[in-house]
């Protein structure tokens, strides 16, 4: 049996996403037993006033810290997951890289492009490996679509539609958490959901070159939050309403390298929409469509069924099956569902493969920086009401 090197892991931020990272670290070699490195959870840091640190100590047997600086001062860490609020990303991410640890950081990896680029620069300077939390690209159906597009199965790509709609902020009585404050979150739905859409578009079609966008805030005020402001779920406190400082909604027209056109719509206040995240790619000879809520399905229109293979062509649903990307690592046959957590296990595997090989695999902090520059262009476009080129790195 191949020798396995332990890789000692710390986690900064143990809310929902931090717990997803913890589970991914503990599961990854169950699905990829050939990995030459094995993550071992050592320590976590969080200052939330609940029992999450006690639970972590009980579930994982790890050391706990209330200050992330204490965690980084340890001499027994090789890799750190950063899953706290946006306003901590730059400081913590840069510190992780400068300490010589590999970095797994959640998107948007900062409040704006400058912060994301600072993290990317620190990672490059330190020569460590990184991963960014663009998990939707890891779905086997998305990887299948990417392969088919590259093979030319839908002909020349013409246009792309991206839709990222959610209702997690649809209730106007929901309290004002850090997500609604510019100093802590930066942007609103742009950083939270649009960045995922941008990454999917880049992953399937290529780089974006120019955008025109508009944004709106449909819930302009919210009650103050009671207690600590963490995660998506909060309890409203007493006091007058406070202003929402970033956008609920964004829409954009997109131009990609090579002449591909696109459109995007995203909302965090869309009543009736729960994790409605989808991409459709239209080509000269067919089209492909994926919806996260039906993660194991790829809607396919490859022509040939209608007049001259194009007019009146019909759609079919293709279930992913063993042999399609990573499905066989998780399920033995088509139609058996994978989970959101499984996508993060794939993300962990790609990072660990990169650490073992010395070559980046999967989405990295550089991908987060590219997405952040597109968001930056959208912010400028919405403010100045014009097409804006996407800044290159």
Say if residue 23's pLDDT is above 60. Answer: yes
What span, in angstroms and rounded, lies between the C-alpha atoms of 120 and 132? 11
> Given this model, what pLDDT does residue 393 score?
80
What span, in angstroms and rounded, lies between the C-alpha atoms of 38 and 9? 10
Domains of the chain (ranges, CATH numbers): 5-135 (3.40.50.720), 138-338+363-388 (3.30.360.10)
Please check whether residue 82 is in contact with residue 89, taking contact to mean a CB–CB distance below 8 angstroms: yes
Q: What is the pLDDT of residues 107-158, one digit of tens each?
A: 999 999 999 999 999 999 999 999 999 999 999 999 999 999 999 999 999 9
Say if residue 231's pLDDT is above 80. Answer: no
> Given this model, what pLDDT does residue 48 score?
87
Which burial class, exposed, middle or buried, applies to 256 when counting CB atoms under 10 A from its CB (0-12, 13-18, 19+)?
A: buried
Find the Cα–Cα–Cα–Cα dihedral 119, 124, 126, 131, rounded to 10°.
60
Q: Is the dihedral of CA 31, 34, 40, 45 positive or negative?
A: negative
Mean pLDDT of the 54-82 span: 96
> Given this model, what pLDDT does residue 236 score?
65
H or E segment to which residue 219 belongs: none
Mean pLDDT of the 270-297 span: 97
What span, in angstroms and rounded, lies between the C-alpha atoms of 74 and 78? 10
Hey, is 245 helix, strand or coil? coil
pLDDT band at 312 (very low <50, low <70, confident <90, very high): confident
Report pTM: 0.94
Hey, is 259 helix, strand or coil? helix
DSSP states of 192-203 = IIIHHHHHHHHH
User: 349-381 in b/e burial notation, b at 16+ Cβ within 10 A?
Assistant: bbbbbbbeeeebbbbbbbbbbbbbbbbbbbbeb
- Give the end-to-end CA distance of the chain in Å, rounded to a whole number: 43
Beta partners for residue 388, in sequence order: 211
pLDDT band at 70 (very low <50, low <70, confident <90, very high): very high
Hey, is 82 helix, strand or coil? strand
């Amino acid at each position: 049996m191949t020798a396995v090197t332990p890789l000692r892991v710390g986690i900064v931020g143990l809310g929902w996403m931090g717990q997803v990272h913890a589970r991914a670290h503990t599961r990854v070699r169950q699905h990829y037993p050939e990995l030459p490195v094995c993550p071992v959870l050592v320590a976590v840091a969080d200052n939330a006033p609940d029992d999450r640190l006690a639970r972590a100590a009980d579930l994982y047997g790890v050391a706990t810290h209330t200050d992330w600086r204490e965690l980084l001062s340890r001499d027994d860490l090789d890799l750190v997951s950063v899953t706290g609020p946006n306003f901590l990303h730059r400081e913590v991410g840069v510190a992780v890289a400068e300490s010589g640890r590999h970095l797994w950081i959640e998107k948007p990896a900062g409040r704006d492009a400058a912060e994301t680029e600072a993290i990317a620069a620190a990672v490059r300077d330190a020569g460590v490996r990184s991963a960014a939390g663009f998990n939707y690209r890891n779905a086997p159906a998305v990887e299948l679509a990417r392969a088919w597009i590259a093979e030319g199965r839908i002909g020349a790509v013409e246009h792309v539609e991206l839709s990222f709609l959610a209702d997690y902020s649809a209730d106007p009585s929901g309290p004002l958490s850090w997500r609604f404050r510019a100093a802590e979150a930066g942007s609103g739905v742009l950083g939270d959901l649009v960045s995922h859409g941008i990454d999917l578009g880049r992953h399937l079609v290529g780089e974006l070159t120019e955008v025109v966008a508009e944004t709106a805030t449909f819930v302009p005020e919210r009650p103050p939050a009671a207690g600590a402001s963490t995660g998506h779920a909060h309890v409203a406190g007493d006091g007058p309403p406070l202003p929402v400082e970033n956008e609920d909604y964004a829409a954009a027209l997109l131009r990609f390298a090579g002449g591909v056109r696109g459109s995007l719509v995203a909302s965090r206040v869309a009543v009736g929409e729960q994790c409605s995240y989808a991409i459709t790619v239209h080509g000269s000879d067919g089209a492909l469509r994926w919806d996260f809520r039906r993660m194991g399905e790829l809607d396919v229109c490859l022509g040939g069924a209608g007049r001259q293979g194009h007019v009146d062509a019909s759609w079919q649903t293709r279930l992913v099956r063993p042999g399609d990307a990573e499905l066989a690592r998780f399920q033995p046959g088509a139609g058996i569902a994978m989970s959101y957590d499984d996508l993060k296990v794939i993300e962990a595997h790609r990072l660990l493969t990169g650490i073992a090989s010395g070559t980046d695999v999967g989405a990295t902090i550089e991908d987060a920086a590219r997405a952040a520059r597109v968001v930056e262009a959208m912010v400028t476009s919405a403010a100045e009401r014009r097409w804006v080129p996407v800044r290159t790195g």
